[in-house]
Each structure stands twice: as structure tokens, then as C-alpha cells.
Amino acid sequence: MDPVLNSGDTAWMLISTALVILMTIPGVALFYGGLIRRENVLNTIFLSFISFAIVSILWFVYGYDLVFGADIWGFIGTLSNPFFGGVIESNTLSTYAPTIPTGLYAIYQMTFAAITVALISGAVVERMKFSAWLAFIPVWITLVYIPVSHWVWGGGWLAQMGVLDFAGGTVVHVNCGMAALALVLLLGARKNSQLLPHHLGYSIIGTGLLWFGWFGFNAGSALGATNLAVSAMIVTNMSAAVGMITWILMDKLETGKPTLLGALSGAIAGLAAITPAAGYVNITAAIIIGFIASICGYYAVSHLKPRLGYDDSLDVFGIHGVSGIIGTIAVGIFATPLINSAIKGGLIAGNPGQIGIQILAVLVIGVYAFIMTLIIGKVIDITIGLRVEKKHEVQGLDINLHEESGYRLS
Amino acid sequence: MKKILAIIRPDKLEEVKQALEEIGCHGLTVKEVRGRGRQLGITESYRGHDYKVDLLPKTEIEIVTMEVKLDNIVETIVKTAQTGDIGDGKIFISPVEEVIRIRTGERGEKAI
């Protein structure tokens, strides 16, 4: 039987696409925008918005094909329809999601590429040149996101080995976390590297939009209005809730008071960690995943970061990177064919080999993202320069790089 | 004519304003300021890191008045803004050379 367009699936995926867009603009933008100094609020928000715009264009010029086109040696897809030429006109259904249009699958995937870059910006805020960031986005998408995404989702070599990444634990979170770490090593620490949020209200709204949008991210990754989407939605919400409460407990134990920023951070750790597992695990596993991710995230930002001394300003590695690693490995333990009949499952379902594949994916993608980002960052540093002038950093980036200010007296 | 500059706890503003109203002192200017005295700092905690905040938010009230009303106003502020704990603030009094009402150009005490 030839596949036919299912209007329920198509409607859900249209909505999911819009939901994931909301995560980047303004979700991530506001989340980050609240956490920095007031003199840098516009620049910080700008980094996310400009990422979204640039990736939107590149994705349809060549990005989608290089990820999802016919596989070349497991490494990259074939560019057969530059500028998405003829794809929309042909009204085909996606080979990856046979009940929705190819174009819909393509724009849904575009939103993942965009948020991955936007997430990296949290590590480099308050000191990176805007021009350097503009150069970084297309190069990083092309040399890091596109191949990694092809390996895992586009039929590349990791996909052929059977790696399981439901909605982007490796492609999005390990990838952005390791890239962030590489960039901050090149950039160096800010002159004032305290995390004193100038307006937590922005971060509250941002986190709310992220949590809300994450249902498009994870339940949308079922690629249809199905039971699997419902299952993914429930475990996503569960992990976020457990992550939030766990971080609050850590706050209470370590510094004495529950903090709202801690609650937001824990929720995001839980959401990021369940991402690779959302379509493969049950509620019990989601509770464990959210719990462990939140504790590890807490220690990464409050102990590991000061000990090693890198200035990952808004903890992109500490929260997204760490959660992505934990979630991806957890898939190898908790994945079960009872939730998703298309897979063999992980350790508990009697397939211990899956853990090895998951760890391999984390290692390869982590190392690849780190080294490639180091190289890209170094080249940009030599040609354009990564870091703003000392005077601009002290005075603030909004007025110096954009001639605007977030808070005017009159 | 005198200027009274009172730095008080932000949470005492409403009470002080009301008490001044009752003794017939209506005109005042209020600013949100930050500063420190003997109270020193407080601690805030973000993502497991403690930060010492050593400038505390205070409220500054500025009143210009005739000398006959001065003592009454100062007493009222002290009485209402006082908690007895460190951090209640301070009052500074200084002479004012001239007052001019912009609307009419009137000068001196009748312009207050």
C-alpha cells in the first residue's frame, strides 16, 4: 500500500514545528537574557534570534539535503535539491515520516538545528564579538551539526549501528554542550564572571516557553499524532518535574535555601536528559533519568566548573551537555520495545549491547564537536577575533556593539 | 529654609509617607537608592554559588521645608522609620538658599 498523507499527523507536526520555534525565539533568548548583566541583555537575546534566522536560510539552501539526502559512506547526505528546488512542488511524503509531507519534515528538523546553535550562545555571552558569532553560525552548522545529525538521524554510520536518539540527546545536547566548552576555552573567562541574574523574570518566562515547547520537541519526534507521542509527552513532563524538585533539594542541602533559578535549571536538566529517551522509556525510567541528570547538573555547575575554572557563563555544558550524556546512556539501559515496538530495547530489555553503541555515540560526537569547534573558533579568532575590546566588555555590549540599551531612563 | 534628606528602609516608605501626610507635610521626592552603612551586606545564592551583595537597596526621601516645621518632620520620620535594628538609615539636614516655583516664578518660602 502506498503511503498516504494523514491529516492528524500533519496537523500535529505543523504545531510541533511551531512549538520548537517558540523554544528558540524567544524561549532560549529570554532564559539566557535574564541571567546576565543588564548592559548585555539585548546582545544576549540577539544571539539566539540571529542564529534562528541564519539557520532557517541555510537549512533550505543546502542543510536539509546534506543531513537527510542519500547517504555517502555513512558520513554525509547528498545535495540533490539545492534551495529545496522542486521538493515542495512535487508534493511528496517524507521517507522518514511517511504520513506527512517532505517539506514539513524538513522544516521540523530545521528548528532542531536552529536551537542547537542558539543554546551554544549561553556559554559565550557578555564577551564575544557579534561579527564573530555571525561567522560562527554558518560554519558550525555546516561542519558540525550537519554531519553529526546525518550520522544519527539521516542514515549515517551511527544510525546504521543502531544508535537510539529519539529527539536529540546527542545531536542537540551533547553537541551544543561540547561546542560550548571548546568556545569558552578559546574565549577565556569574562572580567566579571559572576552569575548574578539582572532580571530573573525573563528567565522564568523563557523556561516556561522551553518546557511548553519541549512537547513539540519530544512528542513531536514521534513524527505523528500517535500513542508514542502521548508516551513521549508524559515521560518528558515527568522528567522535568523530577529534575526541578531534585535541584531544589540539592539547593536546600548545599546552600540552605530553595532557589527559583535552581528550580528552572533542574527542570531544564530533566527535559534535556529525557530528550534522547522520550520515545523509548516508561515513567519509572523517566523519574530516574530526571533525578540523576539534575544531581549531576548541580555538581557540574557548582563544583566542577569552579574547580576547573572555565567560564561557561550560563552552564551550557553543565546542564545541556551533562544531561545529554546521561540521557543518551540511559537509553541503553532503559529503552524497551514495550513502549516503542520498532526497537530491540536496552539492557533491561535484554539487549546490553545497546549501552556500548550509546556510549560510542556520546564519545564520538562529543570529541568531534569539541575538536571541530576548537578549530572553527581558532580560525575565527585569527581572522575576525573572537573577543570584544576590553572597554566594551566592561561598559556592556548593548551600547557598544548595537547602539541600543535594554533599559532607558526616558 | 532647610532640606531634609532621609535614607530609610524601602519597606518603611508607606508608613513614613502617611505619617508626614498627617502632620501636613505633602510635598516630597522619593528615590530608590543603594548604599551601605553599618549593616554591611547580605548573601544571595545562584546555582550553588554564594554572592555577597554589599550595596543594599534603600529609599531616599527629599523634603524642603520652612524652618519652623523642621523638627516636627524630622521627629515624625525618626519615629515611623525606626525599627531599632542596624540598617534603619540616616537623616541629613542642610540649608537651602533659594526655592523657585517654575510655574509662576515665585521665590522664597511661598514657593515651597
Q: Which residues of B touch A306 (CB under 8 A)?
A: 49
What is the average pLDDT across A397-408? 95
- Taking the C-alpha atoms of residue A253 and residue A230, their distance in angstroms, rounded to an integer, is 35
Residues 38-97 of B with CB under 8 A from A: 44-51
Chain A CA closest to residue B50: A255
Residue with cell 551544543: A176
Q: What is the CATH number of domain B2-111?
A: 3.30.70.120
- Taking the C-alpha atoms of residue A164 and residue A90, their distance in angstroms, rounded to an integer, is 31
Q: What is the pLDDT of residue A1?
A: 59
The whole-angstrom distance between A195's CA and the closest CA on chain B is 7
The whole-angstrom distance between B99's CA and the closest CA on chain A is 26
Considering only CB atoms, A301 lies closest to which of B45, B47, B51, namely B47
Q: Which residues contact A2 (CB under 8 A, 6 or more apart)?
A: none
Q: CB distance A259–B45 less than 8 Å?
A: yes
- Taking the C-alpha atoms of residue A379 and residue A177, their distance in angstroms, rounded to an integer, is 20
Each residue of A170-212: pLDDT tens digit? 999 999 999 999 999 999 999 988 899 999 999 999 999 999 9
Q: What is the CATH number of domain A7-402?
A: 1.10.3430.10
What is the average pLDDT across B72-94? 95
The whole-angstrom distance between A252's CA and the closest CA on chain B is 10
If pLDDT is split at 50, 70 and 90, which confidence band does A360 have?
very high
Q: Which residues of B touch A256 (CB under 8 A)?
A: 45
Q: Which of B32, B34, B46 to mutate to test the interface with A (most CBs of A within 10 A)?
A: B46
What residues does each domain of chain B span?
A: 2-111
Q: CB distance A195–B50 less than 8 Å?
A: no
Q: Does residue B39 register a pLDDT over 80?
A: no
User: Do B16 and B81 meet the contact criterion of CB atoms below 8 Å apart?
Assistant: yes
The whole-angstrom distance between A229's CA and the closest CA on chain B is 33
Examine residue A3 and say whether the peptide bond preceding it is cis (omega within 30 degrees of 0): no
Q: Does residue A281 register a pLDDT over 70?
A: yes
Q: What is the pLDDT of residue B67?
A: 93
Each residue of A15-70: pLDDT tens digit? 999 999 999 999 999 999 999 999 999 999 999 999 999 999 999 999 999 999 99
Q: CB distance B48–A301 less than 8 Å?
A: yes
Each residue of A215-258: pLDDT tens digit? 999 999 999 999 999 999 999 999 999 999 999 999 999 999 99
What residues does each domain of chain A span?
A: 7-402
Considering only CB atoms, B46 lies closest to which of A195, A250, A303, namely A195
Average pLDDT, chain A: 97
Residue with cell 500513542: A227
Q: Which residues contact B108 (CB under 8 A, 6 or more apart)?
A: B1, B98, B99
Residues recorded for chain A: 410
What is the average pLDDT across B40-45? 82
Q: Does residue A410 register a pLDDT over 70?
A: no
User: Do A33 and A120 meet the contact criterion of CB atoms below 8 Å apart?
Assistant: no
If pLDDT is split at 50, 70 and 90, which confidence band does B52 have?
confident
- Taking the C-alpha atoms of residue A306 and residue A379, their distance in angstroms, rounded to an integer, is 28
